[in-house]
């Protein structure tokens, strides 16, 4: 059933515009920003726009179905929600809304290590649609405990992010005091006063926390200590040795996120990972990075017979999802659009984002004459 929000916000761009009007500028800039001078964000857009498909009007298949299978599980659509840290800064309970919407739509939901909602809370909302993203803490005990907690709530898919060896350099966040630890400035107070519904929701729910890390830092009282703790705990870049160790420690599916080269893809395949996500982190880490569009086909060609290849970065519509599927992705993740949904309309906005993606992708597939997501690769030449 199409939501009643469909006439008010029929596109992701509409959700984005509404979000900009509803959340403080510092939160909006944290969400939309890339890094350095935002070149990678622009290149993601440019490269996606260059992908065109040809229709088969005279040899068309019957009605399109979005259903797909990934890592042995049937999903109702070939897309999912990417991990988003500090989710509560955009809107309190954003991660819970996303997790609930993902379960309802039967798509994957990936909870970030640094989300404002705990693994246990997210599992209560997402059920078996919960995947967990790990920034592996260098303290082995904490790392194993996080994995154990994910296991205990029935999560079978562990996503390990490799593309944050250092923090991305984001000038707007620095200017807005969103450094670690955050600084409350006169300007941020002013920005908050201009967005009363966000201020009220945040006042009612409390400042966003790093809910998953809370049990390990109970004795830390102030924000600066918490920030220093997170920084030093998660400081280690993920190397091949760490991936091998995680492969041994995690018996479920291991998915490696942030692959941008054939070399890294082959190394990921060599440790028997089950899937990888081609991603430039939405352009937030390396401003001169290649885009997933440029790398997808080469990576699928090199390792597609050994593991499943997923993708994210830059998706702003169901049309973009069709483009990535046509380049060989089995699942297409995205981050910001789902936050625009919640920023715009709260809980219902998460459903609305999924509806927009579904309706747009279905329209493209029916127009092309394509019956299922994995068939889209035939429409690219």
Ligand X SMILES: Cc1cc2nc3c(=O)[nH]c(=O)nc-3n(C[C@H](O)[C@H](O)[C@H](O)COP(=O)(O)O)c2cc1C
Please give the positions annotated as active site.
281
Cβ 61 to ligand X shortest distance, Å: 29
Instruction: List C-alpha distances in Å: 63 to 1, 328, 367, 368.
Output: 17, 21, 10, 11
Does the protein bind ligand X through residue 98 (CB under 6 A)? no
Q: If binding means CB under 6 A, how many residues of this protein chain bind ligand X?
A: 21
Per CB under 6 A, which of residues 66..85 are in contact with ligand X?
82-85
Q: Which of 281, 291, 356, 360 binds ligand X (CB under 6 A)?
A: 281
Q: Which of 114, 123, 162, 309 binds ligand X (CB under 6 A)?
A: 114
Burial grade of 140 (CB within 10 A; 0-12, 13-18, 19 or more): exposed
- Cα 147 to the chain's mean position, in Å? 19
Determine the interface stretch with ligand X among 101-109, 148-156, 294-302, 310-318 (rule: CB under 6 A). Answer: 310-318
Q: Which of 19, 29, 100, 112 binds ligand X (CB under 6 A)?
A: 112
- The residue whose two tokens read 């490696």 is 256
Does the protein bind ligand X through residue 161 (CB under 6 A)? yes
Convert 13-30 to b/e letters by CB count within 10 Å (16 or more is b): ebbbebbbebbbbbbbbb
DSSP string covering 244-309: HHHHHH--SEEEEEEE-SHHHHHHHHHTT-SEEEE--GGGTS-TTPPPHHHHHHHHHHHHTTTSEE
When the beta carbons of 84 and 307 are compared against ligand X, the nearer one is 84
Does the protein bind ligand X through residue 312 (CB under 6 A)? yes
Per CB under 6 A, which of residues 334..353 are in contact with ligand X?
334-336
Per CB under 6 A, which of residues 211..270 are in contact with ligand X?
257
Helices 318-326 and 347-368 pack at an angle, to 10 degrees, of: 50
Cβ 33 to ligand X shortest distance, Å: 8
CA distance 361 to 286: 29
CA atoms within 13 A on the CB side of 179: 9
Cβ 87 to ligand X shortest distance, Å: 8
When the beta carbons of 38 and 76 are compared against ligand X, the nearer one is 38
Cβ 62 to ligand X shortest distance, Å: 31
CA distance 210 to 54: 46
Cβ 1 to ligand X shortest distance, Å: 26
Binding site for ligand X (CB under 6 A): 31, 82-85, 112, 114, 133, 161, 257, 279, 281-282, 284, 312-315, 334-336
């Amino acid at each position: 059933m199409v939501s009643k929000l469909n006439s008010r916000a029929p596109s992701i761009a509409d959700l984005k515009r509404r979000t900009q009007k509803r959340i403080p500028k510092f939160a909006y800039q944290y969400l939309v920003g890339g890094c350095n001078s935002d070149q990678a964000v622009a290149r993601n857009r440019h490269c996606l726009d260059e992908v065109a498909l040809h229709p088969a009007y005279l040899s068309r298949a019957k009605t399109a179905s979005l259903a797909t299978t990934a890592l042995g599980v049937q999903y109702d659509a070939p897309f999912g929600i990417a991990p988003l840290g500090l989710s509560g800064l955009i809107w309190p309970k954003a991660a819970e809304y996303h997790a609930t919407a993902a379960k309802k739509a039967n798509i994957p939901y990936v909870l970030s290590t640094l989300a404002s909602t705990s693994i246990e809370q997210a599992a209560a909302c997402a059920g078996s649609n919960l995947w967990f993203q790990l920034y592996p803490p260098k303290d082995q005990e904490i790392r194993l405990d996080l994995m154990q907690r994910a296991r205990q709530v029935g999560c079978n898919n562990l996503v390990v992010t490799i593309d944050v060896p250092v923090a991305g350099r984001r000038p707007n966040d620095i200017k807005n005091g969103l450094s670690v630890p955050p600084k409350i400035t006169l300007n941020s107070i002013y920005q908050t006063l201009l967005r009363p519904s966000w201020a009220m929701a945040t006042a009612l729910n409390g400042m966003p926390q790093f809910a998953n890390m809370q049990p390990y830092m109970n004795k830390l009282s102030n924000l600066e200590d918490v920030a220093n703790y997170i920084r030093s705990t998660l400081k280690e870049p993920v190397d091949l040795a760490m991936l091998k160790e995680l492969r041994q420690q995690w018996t479920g599916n291991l998915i490696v996120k942030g692959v941008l080269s054939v070399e890294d893809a082959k190394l990921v395949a060599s440790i028997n990972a089950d899937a990888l996500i081609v991603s430039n982190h939405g352009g937030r880490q390396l401003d001169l990075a290649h885009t997933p569009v440029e790398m997808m086909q080469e990576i699928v060609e090199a390792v597609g017979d050994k593991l499943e290849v997923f993708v994210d970065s830059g998706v702003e519509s169901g049309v973009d999802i069709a483009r990535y599927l046509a380049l060989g992705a089995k699942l297409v993740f995205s981050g910001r659009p789902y936050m625009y949904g919640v920023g715009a309309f709260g809980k219902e906005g998460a459903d609305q984002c999924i509806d927009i993606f579904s309706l747009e992708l279905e329209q493209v597939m029916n127009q092309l004459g394509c019956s299922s997501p994995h068939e889209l690769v035939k429409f690219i030449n």
